[in-house]
Amino acid sequence: MKTVSENKCFGGTQGVYTHASDACKCDMTFGLFLPEEAAHVPVPVLWYLSGLTCTHENAMVKAGAQGWAAEHGLALIFPDTSPRGDDVADDEAYDLGKGAGFYVNATEAPWAPHFNIWDYVAEELPALVGENFALDMSRQAITGHSMGGHGALTLAMGLPGRFASVSAFAPITHPSASDWGRKQLGAYLGANESTWTAHDSTLLMRDKGFDGPVLIDQGGDDQFLDLLKPECLAEAMAARRQDGVFRMQKGYDHSYFFVSTFMEDHVAFHSEALHA
């Protein structure tokens, strides 16, 4: 692991690091905010998964999360959204290939050699940061935006007991029934739709739910509402009587202005679960 940069931030440190990834078979970059408390004791962890076209940097510089994390004594981890490098497969479209890993392990050519973002976020990166930083890996929570909200929800329900809480900003909630999903899941996982189920939060919510609290914020003026299908997840949560809150925020769109507006609520929500 190599240090790219470390900057003083809200009394703690915002770092950027690179390492050779076994899961993705390329160099990967991630951001990590450590609050001041991490100089003395291991701190709880909040993962933030970004959306389409993003790298580790987007939320790190736009979401306004570090100040709230510092207030609650939480570390923030900002993984990248896909493998990178000249030998990594890509597509001309912005919603497939680099920047669009969809938090799955690809099984189809040409994606399978590198696009193993599920294993990277679920196993490899947690092991790496747990070994190298003052993190309490027994206390983890997860959030994300758009494609990252999809990833946060599917990881939370797919890894029972790992996360104390899960939240999402404008998540892709039903990818197996959306053009933001069918294209990508078909490309990465193949035509057998039964393999897609583990990566569809609406189907997972209907089948198993989440063993902790859930918070969803969706902008009412989001330009991608028809692709995100928030009503599907809301209906699944209600049918399951999931411990959670789904909020439609009038007038807000899909941007980081929306994310940063409600970031304080999400960090406080996760802090309560992590410190319970």
Give per-residue pLDDT as tens, 197-206: 999 999 999 9
Q: How confident is the model at residue 59 (pLDDT cuts 50, 70, 90)?
A: very high
Q: What is the DSSP string of 220-260?
A: TT-TTHHHH-HHHHHHHHHHHT-SEEEEEETT--SSHHHHH
CA nearest to 111, candidates 188, 3, 224 = 188
Does residue 15 have a pLDDT over 90?
Answer: yes
Q: According to the model, what pLDDT value does residue 276 have?
A: 86
Q: Which amino acid is at 189?
A: L
Residues 82-134: tens digit of each pLDDT: 999 999 999 999 999 999 999 999 999 999 999 999 999 999 999 999 999 99
Residues 1-12: tens digit of each pLDDT: 999 999 999 999
Contact 198, 228 (CB under 8 A): no
Q: According to the model, what pLDDT value does residue 93 have?
A: 96
Q: How confident is the model at residue 37 (pLDDT cuts 50, 70, 90)?
A: very high
**Edge-to-edge strand list for the sheet holding 214-219:** 2-9, 12-21, 26-34, 75-78, 43-49, 135-144, 163-169, 214-219, 244-249
Residue 164's φ and ψ, nearest 5 degrees, are -75, -25
The Cα 245–Cα 125 span in angstroms is 29
Number of domains in the chain: 1
Mean pLDDT value of segment 217-246:
98
Q: According to the model, what pLDDT value does residue 230 have?
A: 98
By annotation, the residues acting in catalysis are 146, 222, 254
* Whole-number average pLDDT of the chain: 98
pTM: 0.98
Burial zone of 94 (CB within 10 Å; 0-12 exposed, 13-18 middle, 19+ buried): exposed
Q: According to the model, what pLDDT value does residue 44 have?
A: 98
The Cα 247–Cα 260 span in angstroms is 15
CATH value at residue 187 = 3.40.50.1820
Q: How confident is the model at residue 140 (pLDDT cuts 50, 70, 90)?
A: very high
Rounded alpha-carbon distances, angstroms, from residue 42 to 37, 50, 123: 8, 25, 19
The Cα 260–Cα 217 span in angstroms is 12
The sign of the dihedral angle between the CA atoms of 16, 57, 163, 148 is negative
Mean pLDDT value of segment 49-57:
98
